[in-house]
Structure 1
Amino acid sequence: MQRLLSLLRVSSRPALVENARGYGTRRESKPWKQRPNRKAKLALVLTEDVDKLGRRGHVVRVEHGYGRNWLLPQGKAVYATPDNMELYGAREEMQGSDSEADIAAFVKGVFAKHDISVTVPSEGGEWSVHEQHIAKELRRFCLHVPLDCIQLSKPITSIGAHPVFLTVDDENEISFTVNVVSRDTRQTGQYASEGYVAPLFITFQHNTSLAGYKHYLS
């Protein structure tokens, strides 16, 4: 009986494996204690505009400490769950969609919910708006438009309304009206309470015909 118990105790021990030096080491399998991937960032949905990070409804990926110690406690962001993404109109929900109807609806929603603006720094000197300024702002809404698809007859250098065209393909072209408003107009008018610091900004008024629009998502 004692011999049987000793055999059972020996067989219940972890198996031994030899390392490079020939010493026996115990094999321990603890998959539940694997180290977390510290390089993976935290996906959050912004509940309000955050300077140098994004606007309300944007899905951002930040360091865990920054998200858990600042954004989440301050109420500036929530976890990027499906419910929260739907609640705040997160911009990643259209990724991977190929339907023209879905794409058109997505683009219409972007322009319906948000004013797309481009800030142009100026101190009374010369300034101009080029294709890259427009493309940069569109990227903030996950609309990645190549520069050669943005058609300007010439750089915008004056206050007022200017036509802009986005060429989708040979058969589809989307028109926008670019309104350049001066700093004085903004400070004394309806934008005075928004706290802008740049002298000029540009807003785009979308055309109602967006069928066939192709967006570019990274």
Structure 2
Amino acid sequence: MQVILTKDVEKIGRRGDIVDVSRGYVRNYLTPRGLAEVATPGKLAEAQHQMEEAEERDRRLEERATEIAATLNKSVITIEARTGEDDRIFGSVTAANIANSIKGARGIHLDRRRIKLPEPIKTLGTHTVSVQVHGDVEANVKVIIVPKL
């Protein structure tokens, strides 16, 4: 019997998938828990339409992410930091600082968790920081830390 999953079901499929399962499994487990609905021709057409819309939305997001990555790859971000003896920074430059600087310089809002910084930057100079824009799309941003005057 074909059903359309309304939620992810372990070992069966993900939300929106059309799967073949036994009638008893549908009647006793999937339907009572609201995990699936029987696949009628109308619901199959609706599910197909929703999957096409989701694919189109993902394609547009991927294109936008590629454009953002191209912009970020060309970007050089300068961050001023207070320094002490031997040009060491008081504190450190974190992913949140870098995200705020990118937003200010390029107008691109990035979540700080998408900036891959193994450890906070504690020295002056040029650093290359990896940013996960979307899915598999990554960009490298050149960050220059200069002393605050």
Q: Under TM normalisation by the shorter chain, which class is it?
A: 0.3 to 0.5
TM-score by length of 2: 0.44
Higher helix share: 2
Structure number with the higher strand fraction is 2
**Bigger relative contact order, structure 1 or 2, given CA contacts below 8 A and separation 6+?**
2
Structure with the greater alpha carbon radius of gyration: 1
TM-score (norm 1): 0.32
